């Protein structure tokens, strides 16, 4: 079949955009690996940070703690809010409109604004100081809009026939939501959680303003510490350990890939169970 010139033009634009994106990704990953892999040494994984070894292990542990604390707050609130918006709220409800406008607004606020709020409220007003808890709660506020939106769209994608079949068998709304709707929407919800983890791992401005930059393994959630992203920023800004900053970027990249691979495997298993 003869193709319209406009079809050829748009097809070329699609292939060109995909190729540019792929080449950019290959360049970034290759640049990080080439400059960082040769400088990954055992000293980078010592328990105690010094100006000689610039160990990243304390920051890696802090990153894991911040992910767990942030998600333990944002995921339940985000999922329950989305359930209310989709399953319980009446159409045209003013409260629903207010919530959705608020969520969309919060999703577009720069991270430094969240950091400023976290510093004024958690650090100063509540008196927690620069701490892991203050930083993690600030991150939970940043990821909450993303989890709400992705969960809401995942719940909407579940066919109404699932709900109707459950109601016809005598199940109530609560049982239908938790036994039928949520398992069917679980892969989409997990995708939102994965995106949230990526934002938590890569955040620097908000963590500097709330958690501080102290390099140590936190013994309490009220102690100051730094994540891997902040650690990499600190090394690169000082200018004395650029090679170690690249090595930290490699470790950060590996952590993100491992988390995404693990989450994708869970999502595939959930899809298989649903079918």
How many folded domains does the chain comprise?
1
15 within some domain: no
Please report where in the chains the tokens 């990954």 appear, as a residue: 40
Cα distance between residue 64 and residue 114, in whole Å: 20
30 within some domain: no
Q: What's the pLDDT tens digit per position in 146-203?
A: 999 999 999 999 888 888 888 888 888 889 998 889 888 888 898 888 889 988 998 8
**114 within 8 A of 206, measured Cβ to Cβ:** yes
Question: What pLDDT score does 273 carry?
Answer: 59
36 within some domain: no
Task: Tell me if the pTM is above 0.85.
Answer: yes
**CATH code for the domain of 88:** 1.10.3720.10
CA distances (Å), origin 126, targets 84, 118, 122, 131, 222: 30, 10, 5, 12, 12
């Amino acid at each position: 079949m003869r193709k319209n010139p406009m079809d050829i033009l748009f097809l070329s634009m699609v292939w060109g955009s995909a190729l540019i994106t792929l080449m950019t990704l290959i360049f970034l990953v290759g640049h990080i690996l080439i400059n960082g892999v040769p400088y990954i040494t055992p000293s980078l994984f010592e328990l105690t940070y010094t100006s000689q070894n610039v160990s990243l292990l304390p920051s890696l542990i802090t990153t894991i703690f911040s992910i767990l604390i942030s998600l333990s707050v944002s995921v339940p609130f985000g999922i329950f809010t989305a359930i209310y918006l989709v399953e319980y709220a009446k159409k045209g409800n003013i409260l629903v409109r207010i919530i959705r406008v608020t969520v969309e607004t919060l999703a577009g606020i720069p991270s430094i604004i969240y950091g400023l709020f976290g510093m004024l409220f958690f650090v100063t007003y509540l008196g927690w100081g620069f701490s892991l808890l203050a930083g993690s709660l600030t991150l939970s506020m940043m990821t909450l809009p993303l989890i709400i939106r992705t969960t809401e769209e995942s719940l909407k994608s579940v066919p109404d026939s699932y709900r109707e079949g459950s109601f016809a068998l005598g199940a109530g709304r609560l049982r239908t939501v938790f036994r039928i709707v949520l398992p069917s929407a679980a892969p989409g919800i997990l995708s939102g959680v994965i995106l949230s983890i990526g934002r938590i791992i890569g955040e620097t401005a908000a963590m500097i303003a709330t958690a501080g930059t102290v390099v140590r393994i936190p013994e309490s959630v009220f102690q100051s510490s730094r994540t891997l992203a902040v650690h990499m920023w600190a090394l690169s800004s000082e200018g004395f350990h650029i090679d170690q900053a690249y090595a930290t970027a490699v470790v950060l990249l590996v952590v993100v890939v491992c988390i995404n691979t693990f989450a994708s495997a869970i999502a595939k298993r959930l899809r298989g169970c649903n079918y």
